[in-house]
Chain A
Amino acid sequence: MTNHWTDIKNSDCILIMGSNAAENHPISFKWVTKAQEQGAKLIHVDPRFTRTSAKADMWAGLRSGSDIAVLGGLIKYILDNELYFEEYVQNYTNASFLVNEDYAFDNGVFAGYDPKTRTYDKSSWAFQMEENGVPKQDPTMQDPNCVLQLMKKHYERYSLENASRMSGLSIDELKELYSTYAATGTGDKAGTIMYAMGWTQHTVGVQNIRAMAMVQLLLGNIGVAGGGVNALRGESNVQGSTDHCLLYHILPGYLKTPKSWQDSLAAYDKDYTPVSNDPESANWWSNYPKYSASLIKSMWLNDDPATAYNYLPRLDTGAASEYAWLTLFDKMGKGKFQGLFAWGMNPACSGANAGKNREAMANLDWLVNVNIFPNETGWFWEGPDMNPETIKTEVFFLPCAVSIEKEGSVTNSGRWMQWRYKGPEPKKGTMPDGDIMYELMKEIQHLYEKEGGAYPEPVTRLTWDAIATDGVFDAHKVAKLINGFFTKDTMVKGKTFKKGQQVPSFAYLQDDGSTCSGNWLYCNSYTDKGNMAARRDTTQTPMQANIGLFPNWSWCWPVNRRVLYNRASVDLKGQPYAKNKPVIKWDGTKWVGDVPDGGWKPGTKHAFIMRKHGYGQLFGPGRADGPLPEYYEPLECPVKEHPYSGQLHNPTAIAFAEEQKAVCDPRYPLVCSTYRVTEHWQTGVMTRNIPWLVETEPQVFCEMSRNWPSSRASTTATRLSWTACAAPSGPSPSLPQGSSPSPSTATPSIRSVCLALWLDVAQERRRLRQPADPVRR
């Protein structure tokens, strides 16, 4: 989230699209409701009528996967009717930038496409540059190559008629949606978007979100109270786990994973350190070498960063088609891996194509499964269609402590890093995850020290004891290491720091190994002032209290800034556009309110400091699938063509040749989606084992349209109930004598707890508009 939970109350119009927040993020609705009580409009766009829809002023039931038709239509509506916040667009976005004349878009494909690799050469999407190396701009935004004009041209096709045809919404509904939301395109109004996996789990997931980010930039809704682009993240620490980059393509703090051609730290830094010749662009990523050196130092404290850079593995390419989730399982199915850690995760249930994933696991030599409860992953070898006697995989199941039994921090969706304390002792026989990691890696280090092996230095030189005290994992010590400390006496910005002193903020990090920091974004979270994440002080200035900023409660990255890009909430003189709910304000000598996005005087630096040129990117020349969001159908879809182009699917989407897809296939006439209920969570490993929750929501169910022909409904219902119920009625997961039982009353073999089926979305929508009682079987 660019903003945070309590900030939602400041919104004038809340769009919830691709999320059922009332059901899945129940407490978020406390703040949605507060906004509504103050007059805010709530719009819910979703294929299903849900608890969120029931609370909304407007529910728009679109067809699954048609989001960009609706959002592209909104962009066109804003541009055609000149409803954008002109001063904001002019000063804070790249609308006036001139794009390279070679840039082209033809029949659904952008210039530079290579069908063999299914990737783009993005060079023609670049901006035109002045001789002094600053992007060319047309302040009148009339040049045909300027971003605003290119957008007008690109979204010409996104008419109300086309949006209606693809989404199933009526033109009147679309007009109501567009006019209500676009009304926030003034300085004193704010609109916000709350989205979740209804947007991300698509072959156009990135562009769904891009499209809305563009809407927010056009309407001046980024950086302001009650605005922003807000992902409702689904796990207690999925924000933190992303920040610490348990992902193939990034290292902690969103640094890039090294590539094979970057044979030195200098070469690596050069590739990822953007250069701007504009003195008014803060170009914050120009600090990249300080962050990369400090990260490497934090892992290998006894080596200099240039040497230890070689200890980091390198990728051949950054392409998802080589390393990402789907590819990982595809390669596992082909026998590429000997071992797998499934740590705090249940991929046999949570991954798309669970059957393929489970079969792939049978090719492993060993599997380490760390979890609280027995689950479909550790027990895959006795799952549906599995014969244990033919499965070679050794499985180690390690039971871990639960959250209240250990100490450490988690980062919520609003980027608040919040400290947890230990309550009860871990249950007998279980261990906190941190201790398991510490002891396992100690054992591996010991083996390499004793026996040697392939390139042992990264393992043996790892300063693993930096995360423990007296041989026990120490969350405080790790938190301090993540923040970072000085590794020798150092002078920075005229201040002298002693060796061992905590680095006060990332502005003090160095590129020569004199500082370490496990994650530059978290530098400032555990300083010499203490553990900032543990703060429980609710005091605020009246200005802060007005928007519910809570700057002294816990800590928020970066540097306790609660609203990202907040310099865009004020004009070039530092005065807030929204007088009634300012985020920051220049009082003549200093900024007051939130921590500003850089402390420079107003009007001296561009507002979007993380972008090379300093502007919000309406045109995104770095995206893999195009600089402007474009409509494509999902890989499996009920239509053979759409009115936007002749390109049916996203040409850059990952596809596996052997996987058949149903496109207008009469055997698969239904769009089916899975979803959750409040009482159950993710694959249900935790909640299916909680007596109170199983009592309140005891079994899986599916919802089906009343408009189905009855014969087809009963056949499908029979087949579905068989699929959904096969697991619980089958053999119980095996456990040794004396250990606890694992099967709960509901152990679905399907991916999620619930399932919805729609035959005809438009009809369904009309039906649901009457009584607000979704049919439940």
Chain B
Amino acid sequence: MTVNRRRFLKLSATAAAMTAFGGLGCQHTAPAVDRATMLKPEWTKQTTTICCYCAVGCGLIVNTSLKTKKAVNVEGDPDHPVNEGSLCAKGASIYQLAENERRPEGPLYRAPFSKEFKQVSWKWALEQIAHRVKKSRDETFAVKNDKGQTVNRTEGIASLGSAALDNEECWAFQTMLRSLGLVYIEHQARI
């Protein structure tokens, strides 16, 4: 039997569905294979994802080098019912979003009145931010409003974002913000 590329992907789709129902929380390191991996199957792993740009939600196949753990190619998923393998220029260039030298390699901090950022550690940045959040919350927290009604809200912190987050992150973010008492919460959906 000749296994062409499309058939290969179909086989893997079945395998993926079995994975999805067979074991909860099981990570899908899809055995879907493209031309490159057919030549050197030990070279990459393939995973499916959804485009990060507009909300058409096109399917993508990502090739990741097993050696370097870096993306080597991203292309349209031919089995996806919406895009049937095709992509626009943005979706087709997602590989360059990951493999991009312009991405800063760690948190940056700009001190008051400073003309520059300096590189800082994640630990330091998160501790400092936590202290700022706590201070602002404690100083601006209103238990009651002007009418004497209980409102339990933090009035001095606002949040914007984000439609670029995954669902699970959106939910976690709103949970974090609302447990901190924020009411000024907006994002891309308003503009």
Contact = CB atoms under 8 A, between A and B. Distances in A.
The yes or no verdict on A and B being binding partners is yes
A325 B166 contact: no
Given A404-B94, A735-B117, A337 B184 contact: yes
B170 A244 contact: yes
Interface string A682-715: 1000110111110010000000000000000000
12 contacts: A316-B145, A331-B184, A337-B184, A404-B94, A420-B48, A434-B169, A474-B25, A478-B168, A530-B20, A536-B20, A696-B89, A736-B117
B64 A424 contact: yes
Interface residues of B, number: 138
Contacts of B27: 407, 421-422
Nearest to B147: A260
B152 A324 contact: no
A535 B108 contact: no
A443 B137 contact: no
A24 interface: yes
Contact of B84 (A30, A424, A455, A474): A30
B132 interface: yes
Interface residues of A, number: 176
Contacts of B84: 30
Interface stretch (A105-113, A389-397, A564-572): A389-397
A398 B107 CA distance: 5
A681 B90 contact: yes
A422 B46 CA distance: 10
A537 B12 CA distance: 11
A388 interface: yes
Interface in A343-398: 343-345, 347, 350-352, 365-366, 368, 370, 372-374, 378, 381-382, 388-398
A317 to B, nearest CB: 10
A429 B104 CA distance: 8
Contacts of B167: 237, 240, 243-244, 408-411, 417, 479, 482, 522
A624 interface: no
Contacts of B159: 246, 340-341, 343
Contacts of B107: 396-399
Interface of B: 13-14, 16-17, 19-22, 24-25, 27-30, 45, 47-60, 62-65, 69-71, 74, 79, 81-84, 86-94, 96-98, 100-119, 122, 125-141, 143, 145, 147, 149-191
Contacts of A440: 126, 129-130, 133, 176
A409 B168 contact: yes
Contact of A237 (B24, B125, B163): B163
Contacts of A248: 183-186
Nearest to B135: A338
A54 interface: no
A693 B89 contact: yes
Contact of A343 (B47, B109, B153, B161): B161
Contacts of A649: none
A176 interface: no
Given A397-B117, A404-B94, A238 B178 contact: no
A239 B129 CA distance: 29
B109 A394 contact: yes
A246 B162 contact: yes
A678 B55 contact: no
A412 B191 contact: no
Given A235-B188, A257-B183, A420-B49, A339 B136 contact: yes
A686 B71 CA distance: 17
A214 interface: no
A57 to B, nearest CB: 23
Nearest to A322: B183
A373 B185 CA distance: 23
A529 interface: yes
Nearest to B101: A740
B145 to A, nearest CB: 5
A124 B181 CA distance: 36
